[in-house]
Chains A and B, each alone.
Chain A
């Protein structure tokens, strides 16, 4: 199936397996003035769906300096309804205009009955969902003319009807649709806590050749008596446990383009750059172990 999109890597040069950052409007000017060394920058595609104006002017200027990654949050690949054709068209126009090196979306749904819910909502891992997600990824890849990456979600509920474990669901989706995976290690950690599974075991079930990008972010902990739940709010530093899982993952599969996501309480650019440098250091250590094993 993967040969279906052989031109995936022809469009833009491959991104080095180093850490980039998610770009926020507050950092446009500083990035353009200082041009810090970064392997790539990532933006939420939906934020560039206006017709013109400063967002596009800044993105054009940034695209002259950095390879781009387009990360979508609104396609609703796990939605029971057909994909939103207008949204697909706007996506395609942006991909044609900016030629991003990476394109990604989520295993989640966010749209139903004409409402756009603006959250990445969980999908029961059933055979029915597997078929739906696979068909939607097909439609998106066909519209864009290239393979995409899909990201594992952070979840707060699970479903009694789920028939397939999450790692196997993701692997099966990738194998059937020809897409690859965007492995969000913080999401694995958050879900592992919320549902009581072992994140190491989960990660060990994802074949390295399917992983095209890694996401790292901070999360928060909500406490109510004995009950605690971890919430994926992208509003703080990556936690020590997640750094540990990242090092182990790189040791197992080798380094990948990696992104520091920070979307709420966005700090100074310097803090994001420092977090990205730390990811490079952790990955280099992990990669040494990977090379030693290989």
Chain B
């Protein structure tokens, strides 16, 4: 018997290698003499590992599975797992490289929006598990004074895509009948956020996206307004800011004033 680390190293490599019937001799030789069907026995472990990881990806990317079909999804998932086995004991965040994998997967090159739909599903999951925080409710928090630094809700995630990903995602969330829909490429700016129990996916104008992006970097209202006005000349910062604040975008009690001497 090789020492325990050698066995566990060989077994780890076997379990995360691409599915196949071959069991390395080092592993087969560990079994007692006369042990029946070593290949079948080891295969149970490998099947367990792959089945659990494919299920984890299916749970996180249901719209992708609906778009490409169960069988193709399984094929893509197995390819991804063999390339990117998990590294953490909790599977909650497994698959964070799957959007990028799909975007570069030659077999789905004719579906260029797939990677971005997967990215949206991943952000949805991140927002779902993000830390809880009470959105700001008081009047001062909805007034965009130049020198306050609004803090985004910890669940807030931003993304943009040249495709109408939120529409594609909405159409493929449930089990409704398939229909053909023409969605010409049109850039979307999205805020994914969970101010209360439910995760919301909001389409926002470019100016709002620019302001939110600035807030995420720690900008003050003055800084965010500059960004928003650059993005969208004539942007009504006050109106949009108030609407964001009422929608639970910012966290209570975290706006800070600059103390000027």
Check if B12 sits within 8 Å of A51, measured CB to CB. no
**Chain A residues positioned under 8 Å from B155 (CB to CB):** 52-53
Report the interface size for chain B: residues with CB under 8 A from the other chain: 48
Contact with B along A16-34 (1 / 0, CB 8 A): 0000000000000000000
Interface residues of chain A: helix, strand, loop or mixed (majority): mixed
**Chain A residues positioned under 8 Å from B128 (CB to CB):** 50, 53-54
- A117 within 8 A of partner (CB): yes
Identify which of A53, A84, A224, A229 gathers the most chain B CB atoms within 10 Å of its CB. Answer: A53
Given A56-B132, A160-B30, are A129 and B4 neighbors across the interface (CB < 8 Å)? Answer: yes
A-B contact pairs, 10 of them (CB 8 A): A46-B92, A49-B92, A52-B131, A53-B155, A124-B1, A128-B4, A156-B41, A222-B40, A224-B40, A229-B37
Check if A157 sits within 8 Å of B41, measured CB to CB. yes
Please tell me which stretch of B42-50, B111-119, B183-191, B238-246 contacts chain A, meaning at least 4 of its Cβ atoms lie within 8 angstroms of it.
Answer: B42-50
Distance, CA A113 to CA B36, complexed state (A): 30
- B223 within 8 A of partner (CB): no
Given A110-B89, A129-B4, A222-B44, are A157 and B30 neighbors across the interface (CB < 8 Å)? Answer: yes
Please tell me which stretch of B80-88, B136-144, B164-172, B247-255 contacts chain A, meaning at least 4 of its Cβ atoms lie within 8 angstroms of it.
Answer: B80-88
**Chain B residues positioned under 8 Å from A114 (CB to CB):** 87
Distance, CA A18 to CA B44, complexed state (A): 33
Q: Which residue of B lies closest to A123 (CB)?
A: B4
Check if A109 sits within 8 Å of B8, measured CB to CB. yes
Distance, CA A112 to CA B8, complexed state (A): 7
Q: Which residues of B are in contact with A by a Cβ distance under 8 Å?
A: 1, 3-5, 7-9, 11-12, 15-16, 30-33, 35-38, 40-42, 44-45, 48-49, 52-53, 56, 85-92, 127-133, 154-155, 194, 197
Q: Which residue of B lies closest to A76 (CB)?
A: B89
Given A53-B132, A224-B37, A229-B44, are A117 and B16 neighbors across the interface (CB < 8 Å)? Answer: yes
Q: Which residue of B lies closest to A52 (CB)?
A: B132
**Minimum Cβ distance to chain B for residue A278 (Å):** 27
Distance, CA A75 to CA B89, complexed state (A): 7
Question: In A240-269, which residues have CB < 8 Å from any B CB?
Answer: none
Given A53-B194, A124-B4, A160-B1, are A118 and B33 neighbors across the interface (CB < 8 Å)? Answer: no
Question: In A9-63, which residues have CB < 8 Å from any B CB?
Answer: 46-47, 49-57
- A238 within 8 A of partner (CB): no
Closest 3 CB pairs of A and B: A74-B89, A50-B129, A161-B1
